Amino acid sequence: MKRRAQLQDVFAHHPIARTLGVQLQRITKKEVRAELPVKPQHMNRGGRVAGGIIMTFADLLGARGAVANLPPGAGTTTLESKTNFFAAGEGPLLTAVSIPLHIGRTTMVWQTTVRNADGRMVAVVTQTQMVLLPRVTQVPQDAAEPPAAKRSAPSARPARASGTSAAPKDRTGRPSGSHARSGRP
């Protein structure tokens, strides 16, 4: 029972997971399993689970799998999500399993399969999660230099007359870039 309470804590403070009623069953670095008891507010006018509910359910699992694989201090966000629907989502319960297809330093790709209670595949959602590494505060280089080293040195670049614009040059001294193609000075 304690294990179940720990699993539920993963989504306890997630407003969307709470609103949907997602129940986490298992989480490891290589798999996330959850259930979604189907409620009337999940249904579309046709009496089936709305596609957006299914996609959100899958997104929560893929993102949670990415979180389980993040380095300390990092976060994640969904970059891309692709859903293929195969059958209507029906109650009383949807189940989902999410597995990693790629776990990298800057991105992760997770694939979530959503099924009805009878085991029929409803959808497969593939999502790319970006890894948001913590920002490193760097000391400016000149802050570490002694005051004498901060004096202005003469510029190695000759000053241009005010209001003139010289075209960029390649290594031979000829105009380069868009200026070379356009014939502009």
Share of the chain above pLDDT 70, in %: 70
pLDDT > 80? residue 81 = yes
Backbone angles phi and psi of 35, in degrees to 5: -125, 155
Kindly report the pTM of this predicted structure: 0.70
- Residue 62 and residue 129 in contact, taking contact as beta carbons nearer than 8 Å: yes
Res 87: pLDDT: 97
How confident is the model over 103-117, as pLDDT tens digits?
A: 999 999 999 999 999
- Residue 90 and residue 96 in contact, taking contact as beta carbons nearer than 8 Å: no
**C-alpha R_g of the chain:** 27
Choose among 23, 172, 26: nearest CA to 98.
Answer: 26
pLDDT > 70? residue 120 = yes
pLDDT > 60? residue 82 = yes
pLDDT > 50? residue 1 = no
Half-sphere exposure of 73 (CA within 13 A, CB side): 4
Res 182: pLDDT: 47
The rounded distance, in Å, linking the Cα atoms of 44 and 79 is 27
Sheet-wide strand order for 121-132: 23-27, 32-37, 93-103, 107-116, 121-132, 75-85
Q: Rounded mean pLDDT of 60-82? A: 96
Q: What is the DSSP string of 56-99?
A: HHHHHHHHHHHHHTPPTT-EEEEEEEEEEE-S-B-SSEEEEEEE
Res 122: pLDDT: 98
Higher pLDDT, 75 or 5: 75
How confident is the model over 21-41, as pLDDT tens digits?
A: 999 999 999 999 999 999 999
Res 61: pLDDT: 97
How confident is the model over 124-170, as pLDDT tens digits?
A: 999 999 999 998 777 667 655 555 555 555 555 555 555 555 555 66
Determine whether 162 is exposed, middle or buried from the number of CB atoms within 10 Å of its CB (0-12, 13-18, 19+): exposed
Q: Rounded mean pLDDT of 74-92? A: 96
Q: Tell me the average pLDDT of the chain.
A: 83
Local confidence band at 179 (pLDDT 50, 70, 90 cut-offs):
very low
């960029």: which residue's tokens?
Answer: 168
Res 152: pLDDT: 54
Choose among 123, 83, 127: nearest CA to 101.
Answer: 127
